[in-house]
Structure 1
Amino acid sequence: MKRVMFISSTGGHLTELLQLEPLFQRFDASLVTEKTKSNASLKEKYGKKMHYLTYGTKQHLLSYLFIFAWNIIKSFCLFVKIRPDVVITTGTHTAVPMCFIAHFFKKKVIWIETFANSTTQTEAGKLVYPIADLFIVQWESMLELYPNAVMGGWIF
């Protein structure tokens, strides 16, 4: 059974990722997101399959730089622990290091560009697009910005 890591930032990106929950049972799945009060209960639902990174926001740039660096280290440790064959993400900054780690170890990276953007690229999407094995967009208009992407339709 393939080990699949589902990873995203908290908030809307996590809401999108959780739409893929039917896939969780088809694989040896792990779920990774930032730990916040709003998603702490996911640990009760997913148990040992649930993992957290530190929450950070770019609005507090100085502390965010330290949190991002810490999350890179933590992502590497989680990658070694879980050893996923595939990383699937709905973004954003929290998932970027894991995508690069997976790519470095020649594992599959599947990026689903957020539903929230229908006319502009996300910063994280721009970074991961060149290394993604499969880059999925939810709006047909996004194919102009990501010409090698696949139109997947809305995740909701």
Structure 2
Amino acid sequence: MFLLLCLAVLLLLLLRLAWIFYRLGKSSKRSSRCRLLAVVGSGGHTMEMLRLLSELGDRYSPRDYVLAETDKRSEVKIVALESERKRGEKVDYGIHRIPRSREVRQSWLSSVATTMTSTLYCFPLLWRLKPDLVLCNGPGTCVPICLVAFFYKVIGLTDVKIIYVESFCRVTSLSLSGKILYIFADSVLVQWPELKNLYPRTIYKGRMI
């Protein structure tokens, strides 16, 4: 298991390096609008993500929300947020569900299979949506989404940015999702200076939520 994890990390590092060289000779031309894909967790993750999204302007449209198929509460909160945005104008957003990669207290061994299932499900979804920006903040659901987005990016099919915002409650160490995304996300934002000291590639801008 440890050997497989090491090989996966090495592969991600090699892919990241290949992408850096690929992008050196290319200029990124983005339109004035940015198609946003936000990965919504549950509970506190949902609350933090919706606070972040409430601060974004109309440039980030259309907006696609991805949540786990077992999450029964987040959709109501998303609809409420978008209703507040509306102000008499048409709101362009969609809600999509994917299999949860890991349930609370699920064993690590069985979570390998469920994560693979979730990742496979994400390939057609990401290809159809083609987001310009993937924004996530910690739920395990974000890992399959970001892996597929990064894969499409590396092979040159999309030019997506992956931004990970670590939860405010993480003070002394990154979450498991944060440690994985630290390897290949374009930006990892933290809300405590202690994390910036431990993980130099992170970006610290104070409290964002």
Shorter-chain TM band: 0.7 to 0.9
TM-score by length of 1: 0.86
1:98-125 Cα deviation digits (max 9, x unpaired): 1122122222110101111100121111
1:91 to 138, 148, 156: 138
Partner SS, residue 77 of structure 1: helix
Write 1 or 2 for the structure with the bigger share of strand. Answer: 1
Q: Determine which of 28, 47, 58 is the counterpart of 1:25.
A: 58
Instruction: Report matched runs for 1:96-115 at 5 Å.
Output: 96-106=143-153, 107-115=160-168
Q: Superposition pairs for residues 1-156 of structure 1, below 5 Å?
A: 1-22=33-54, 23=56, 25-28=58-61, 29-35=63-69, 36-42=71-77, 44-45=79-80, 49-55=94-100, 56-61=102-107, 64-106=111-153, 107-156=160-209
Structure with bigger helix share is 2
User: Contact (CA 8 Å) 1:33, 1:94: kept in 2 or not?
Assistant: yes
Structure 1 runs of 4+ off > 3 angstroms? 42-48, 62-67
SS of the aligned residue for 1:41 comes to: helix
Q: How far did 1:65 drift?
A: 4.1
Quote the sequence identity (%). Answer: 28
Give the distance between the partners of 2:110 and 2:65, measured in 1 at CA. Answer: 25
Question: SS of the counterpart of 1:32?
Answer: strand
**Count of aligned pairs:** 156
Counterpart AA for 1:147: P
For residues 99-152 of structure 1, give each alpha carbon's deviation from its aligned partner in whole angstroms, at most 9, with x where no partner exists: 122122222110101111100121111111121111100111110221111113
Which secondary structure does the structure 1 equivalent of 2:137 belong to? strand
Q: Structure 1 unaligned runs (5+)?
A: none
CA deviation after TM superposition for structure 1 residue 48, in Å: 5.4
Alpha-carbon distance in structure 2 between the residues aligned to 1:44 and 1:150: 30
Please tell me whether Structure 1 or Structure 2 has the larger radius of gyration of its CA atoms. 2
Contact 1:16 1:155 in 2 (8 A): no
Q: Cα 1:30–1:40, aligned 2, differ >3 Å: closer, same or farther?
A: closer
